[in-house]
Amino acid sequence: MKLVIIGGVAGGATAAARARRLDEKAQIVIFERGEYVSFANCGLPYYVGQVIKERAELLVSTPETFKGKYNIDVRVQTDVLAIDRQAKRVRVRDLQTGQSFDEPYDKLILSPGAEPLRPPLPGVDLPGVFSLRSIPDSDRIKAVVDAGQAKTAVVIGGGFIGLEMADNLVERGLKVTLVEALDQLMPPLDREMAALAHQNARAKGVDLRLSTKITGFAQAQGGGLTVDTEGGGQITCDMAILSVGVRPENALAKAAGLELGPRGHILVNNALQTNDPDIYAVGDAVQIWDYVTGLPVAIALAGPANRQGRIAADNAMGRLSVYRGSLGTAVVKLFGQTIASTGPSQKFLAQNNVAHLVSYSHSANHATYYPGAETMLVKLIFAPSSGRVLGGQIVGGEGVDKRIDVLATAIRAGMSVFDLEELDLAYAPPFGSARDPINVAGMVAANIMRGDVKAVLPPAVAAMDPERDVLIDLRFKEELDEAATIPGSLHIPLPMLRAALPGLDKSKRYILYCAIGLRGYLGYRIMSQSGFEAVNLGGGYGLYTPWMS
């Protein structure tokens, strides 16, 4: 048995190691075009940011450790040029010697990854315009920053790599402009959730330009670059980081006639097998499917690449193993915030006509009487029929990563919002609350499901019928001294509401709101049981502001 693997990082190295454990006698070869195998791509932004101090930390394994631990033949700086499916061999070039040769295989696993998109814009190849995928890429960027040559940077693209670069460049003292063509950062999230990150980025001094397209780059007068934007704008800077997404590395697969998806990803079945039964493919290069809806997606993340590598190795070595799809669970640290999502977004479900409901809840990460509590906003997306959780998004500070993992587990298990209400999560004051944010999110969603509250969202305020709708702000006077209110609201602090009812008009519809949606719900319960038509503004003023921004 001879297993050949193309690509020696997240998916490829994992598949190779697993294959060896399954078969001590197999011959296993990894071809890796770059200088390094098994390195920490995900650490690169933090290496530039000097959070990771030693370059050597990025090297998870080397060809030598692979040989020693796994008896695997790793050939770095070796490019695979073609796959001959008939003859079951690959054509390979040693980039150091320039020599080419053929290497036969019984089974082949492709984990060639993806390459950063470089749109064909004027000036895109100027020095000073960088992409980030490999260690040498990070060396180049870091050298410029280390030399103190850059005081300002433009980061183009608000996906997680762009955001991590922006974060780390700010840490290094650069003034950063962040440019994104869409109207939001972090595309896996819905816009109103990303809006919390927009507010924070701006508060931290980042020049954030949403809905802004780049049209080209030029050398600036007296050094540096100018970045041109659609509509004639120009941003000058000392360096630009281009992180506008990735393209699957599909050249080999395409040339070999393997089936590709509409966006060029290699197609695989649930054994991660291509249309050639002897060839498997994993990682950033493949199209897989969303765990919840079964719809095709491509997810360029290390966790899925890792799991896929292990499963593909199982199948290649003759042990049946099934990949069940991905939730695309992701998290990013950005200017002190944590931004996370799991499962399909609301916009993805809407585009695909999948029925869904949403709920929002703000919660503290731990008991508020214990110092240092930070607020997070939790969005749940769930099925209107069963309450099954479809997706979740959380923006906040500490503890966001915990809650997104609980949601990812719950979604994977097919749990409903009713299950979330009852989850038995660990509580001590430094870690949580007797009602964890996930319990609360479940309760808020379950109350919608059970019809115990009628919730509206911020657009309902803009769409108000002035004849019929009346806003009531239920916050305390002291809170309004510090925060704005929605113009035209009556102000009745919740504890006064019962006494105020006789003065209210039963022919009106009252839109109740407070800071986060809790007192709005309490007000709803009072009014709806007292003969009034009322609705609660879900997420309260704390969602209204970013939503409207």
Ligand X SMILES: Cc1cc2nc3c(=O)[nH]c(=O)nc-3n(C[C@H](O)[C@H](O)[C@H](O)COP(=O)(O)OP(=O)(O)OC[C@H]3O[C@@H](n4cnc5c(N)ncnc54)[C@H](O)[C@@H]3O)c2cc1C
**Binding status of residue 41 toward ligand X by CB under 6 A:** yes
3-state secondary structure of 42: helix
**Binding status of residue 328 toward ligand X by CB under 6 A:** no
Half-sphere exposure for 154 (CA within 13 Å, toward CB): 26
Work out what residue 11 binds among ligand COA, a copy of itself, ligand X, none; the CB cut-off runs from 5 to 8 Å by kind. ligand X
Stretch that binds ligand X, among 109-117, 118-126, 194-202, 416-424 (CB under 6 A): 109-117
What letter would DSSP give residue 19? H
CA 314, CA 320: separation in Å to the nearest integer?
Answer: 6
At closest approach, how far in Å is the CB of 312 from ligand X? 11
Nearest to residue 454, comparing CAs of 514, 543, 527?
Answer: 527
**Binding status of residue 333 toward ligand X by CB under 6 A:** no
Nearer to a copy of itself, 94 or 401 (CB): 401
Among 3, 29, 132, 445, binds ligand X (CB under 6 A): 132
At closest approach, how far in Å is the CB of 435 from ligand X? 11
Among 118, 151, 254, 498, binds a copy of itself (CB under 8 A): 498
CA 311, CA 280: separation in Å to the nearest integer?
Answer: 10
Catalytic residues: 42
CA 390, CA 294: separation in Å to the nearest integer?
Answer: 12
At closest approach, how far in Å is the CB of 378 from ligand COA? 8
Among 4, 5, 11, 515, binds ligand X (CB under 6 A): 11
All residues at 6 or more sequence positions from 264 whose CB lies less than 8 Å from its CB, including other chains: 247, 248, 250, 254
Specify whether the CB–CB gap between 19 and 26 falls below 8 A: yes
Q: What residues between 292 and 311 interact with ligand X by CB under 6 A?
A: 300-303, 305
**Binding status of residue 109 toward a copy of itself by CB under 8 A:** no
**Binding status of residue 491 toward a copy of itself by CB under 8 A:** no
Q: What does the DSSP assignment read for 198-215?
A: HHHHHHTT-EEE-S--EE
Among 16, 19, 252, 357, binds ligand X (CB under 6 A): 252
What letter would DSSP give residue 127? T
Q: What residues between 304 and 333 interact with ligand COA by CB under 6 A?
A: 306, 310
Work out what residue 412 binds among a copy of itself, ligand COA, ligand X, none; the CB cut-off runs from 5 to 8 Å by kind. a copy of itself
What track of x and - describes contact with a copy of itself for positions 290 through 329 (by CB under 8 A)?
Answer: -x---------xxxxxxx----------------x-xxxx
Which tokens in the block code for residue 217? 């780059």
CA 391, CA 378: separation in Å to the nearest integer?
Answer: 11
All residues at 6 or more sequence positions from 299 whose CB lies less than 8 Å from its CB, including other chains: 288, 326, 328
All residues at 6 or more sequence positions from 439 whose CB lies less than 8 Å from its CB, including other chains: 420, 421, 422, 423, 425
Looking only at the bridges linking them, the beta strands covering 107-110 and 279-281 are: parallel
Q: What residues between 368 and 427 interact with a copy of itself by CB under 8 A?
A: 369-371, 401-402, 404-406, 408-410, 412-415, 419, 421-427
Place of tokens 């916050």: 475
CB atoms within 10 A of CB 152: 18
Q: What residues between 28 and 47 interact with a copy of itself by CB under 8 A?
A: 40, 42-43, 46
What track of x and - describes contact with ligand X for positions 44 through 83 (by CB under 6 A)?
Answer: xx---------------------------------xx---
**Binding status of residue 14 toward ligand COA by CB under 6 A:** yes
**Binding status of residue 269 toward a copy of itself by CB under 8 A:** no
Nearer to ligand COA, 178 or 408 (CB): 408
Work out what residue 259 binds among a copy of itself, ligand X, ligand COA, none; the CB cut-off runs from 5 to 8 Å by kind. none
Strands (E) across 317-388 are located at 330-334, 337-342, 357-364, 375-382
Work out what residue 31 binds among ligand X, a copy of itself, ligand COA, none; the CB cut-off runs from 5 to 8 Å by kind. ligand X
Sheet arrangement for strand 107-110: 73-75, 27-31, 2-6, 107-110, 279-281
**Binding status of residue 206 toward ligand COA by CB under 6 A:** no
Q: Which residues make up the interface to ligand X (CB under 6 A)? A: 6-7, 9-12, 31-34, 41-42, 44-45, 79-80, 111-113, 132-133, 161, 249, 252, 283-285, 300-303, 305, 427-429
